[in-house]
Structures are given as structure tokens and as C-alpha cells.
Amino acid sequence: MGLQTRRLGRTGVSLTELGFGAAPIGNLYQPRTDAEVDALLQNAWDAGLRYFDTAPLYGFGLSETRLGKFLRTKPRGDFVISTKVGRLLKPNAGWHEQRAAFIDAAPFEPVYDYSHDGVMRSVEESLQRLGLSSIDILLMHDIGAATHGAAHAEVMKVAMEGGYRALNRLRGEGSVKAIGIGANEWQVCAEAMNHGQWDAFLLAGRYTLLEQEPLDAFFPLCEKAGVGIIVGGAFNSGILATGPVEGAHFNYGDVPEEVMDRVRRLDAVCRAHGVPLPAAALQFPRAHPLVATVIPGVAHSAELASALDWAARAIPPALWSDLKAEGLLHRNAPVPA
């Protein structure tokens, strides 16, 4: 499968329009064997995916270790990798709350550290786990009030005065090609634009068929600054992949009734045009000129095959027109041609 590439903002980095989100290979929600992971990664590679995103959080280093083992078998210039900073891993083989998400993960515990020295140490440790000599894109992970609550102001001060200084230093030295933020809220990315020059923002779940608020003010700011967008969470953590079914998840939790109703309406329009809802969900964000790539998290080769099918599925223009006419899409949302 030939995937097109798109340049990330004003950087010299080009990403395949579909990327690989590596949280699942850190045993997100269920354990996976090394053999299963190797097969999944090889299938992704064979399908043409050349952008891989990971983080120390994912399996407490397990995702980086598994991904690095695979990528070391490929020519270094043939892929782009991003990882994240903001958490350090300390030894802890016992129970902690993050183990509810990452099953049978490595014997560590993630601890927040957005300081200059913490970021530098995080990069060094990620390179060791990956077994690579360089990282292409470095993202500050999970800053914002949604994660840090009342401590947001204090965390933000450390992140912008310390962590950003480290990121900017690494970019200036040429150690990384691009720096950015990976977060679940666009508002903190907008706030961070007042403190430095960023290359990219990875938005998880904030630009989807269900949510287009960034179109009003945030995306215009990014366009003016030349910041590229990486879209994660195109299915809003599940509901747009499964559809309006019992047990579906929205933003890692239960589905509010108003969201379920909206998904029912989205699904009805898609069905009227003979298009699977997840195909529309995966293709919609790619239509925005700021979006360089969409990175679904796939746990198994079967899920990868479904994602590839959805990404390639022909969608009639009338579907997008009907979604706008129904008030289900932002009036100014770019749609696939």
C-alpha cells in the first residue's frame, strides 16, 4: 500500500498520512506477546506506515523497547519516530494505579518531571530503551489542567521555564528535528505558544467527527505560527470505531447520553451512504491542511487491517454535505475531496 507523506508544519520532517500509535504494544488494556507485537509492526511496515509514536509511559518503557527492537532492523532514514518527555521511570515492581491500564508492564512507575534536567535524562533513557542514536520528534507529554488539576499553574511554570529550554536546546543542537506537545487538550497547547516556538502538537481526541472546537481559534494560531498537527484519538478512544453500542467508551470513560445521541446521528448518515462510521472518523481529520498524519492505536494485525481499509474506503462527497446540513460538522471544517 502506498501512503502519501505530508510535511509537518514548517519542519523538514515528512510523515506518512497514517502513522502507528504504539501505546497498545505497551500492553495497553491487555497483554501481548513479543511475537504478536513483532508481527503487528512488520504488517504495519509492509503496509507503508513509516511514522511511529511512542512514550515512556506506554508499558513503563515496554513500548519503546519493543518498537526500538523492531526499528533497528530497518534503515534509519526510512522511518520517523517520536517519543515523549515529562515522565521518568523509577523502579517499582509492585502495584500502582497506572497498572490498571498497562497490564503486565515493566517493573517501573512513571513519575512526572518537566524540569530541564528531567527532560534531558528522559531523552537519554528513551534512546537507551529504543537502542537508537536519535529521535526525530520530541513531545512534552500530558501537560494541562485535565491531567494536573489544581497543580497546573505550577507544573506549567516548570515545563515552560525548564522543559522547554531543554527541548529548544536539543533542537538547536540538531539532536532532534522537531519539538512539540502531546496532550489531550488544545487549550494548553495554545497557552504554551506564549512561551516558545513549537513545531508540532499531537492532539489526542480533540479534532474528530465529534469535536472540532480547535477550528475556531486554535488552528488559526497554529497556521500563523507554522505549527503542524498530529491527530491521535480519531475514534475518541472507541465510540467512533464501535459505533453507538452498549459498553462503548468515550474519552477513556463511559459515554454521556448526549454524546451517544450524536454518534447515533453520525452513524445514521454514514449508513445512508453505505460508509462505515470508523471510515469517516479516520478520514475526516486528514482533510485539514494543518494535519500531517493521523495515528490510530491498533492492538492486533486484524485491527490494523481494518484501519487500513477504513483509511482507503471511498466516501461520497454527499456524506460530508449531509453531515454539515445536519449540524454534525463545523460549518468551516475541511472535508476530504
Catalytic residues: 53, 58, 84
Q: Which three cell numbers stand for residue 266?
A: 453520525
3-state secondary structure the chain: CCCCEEECCCCCCEEECECEECCHHHCECCCCCHHHHHHHHHHHHHCCCCEEECCCCCCCCHHHHHHHHHHCCCCHHHCEEEEEECEEEEECCCCCHHHHCECCCCCEEEEECCCHHHHHHHHHHHHHHHCCCCCCEEEEECCCHHHHHHHHHHHHHHHHHHHHHHHHHHHHHCCCCEEEEEECCHHHHHHHCCCCCCCEEEEECCCCCCCCHHHCCHHHHHHHHCCEEEEECCCHHHHHHHCCCCCCCECCECCCHHHHHHHHHHHHHHHHCCCCHHHHHHHCHHHCCCEEEEECECCCHHHHHHHHHHHHCCCCHHHHHHHHHCCCCCCCCCCCC
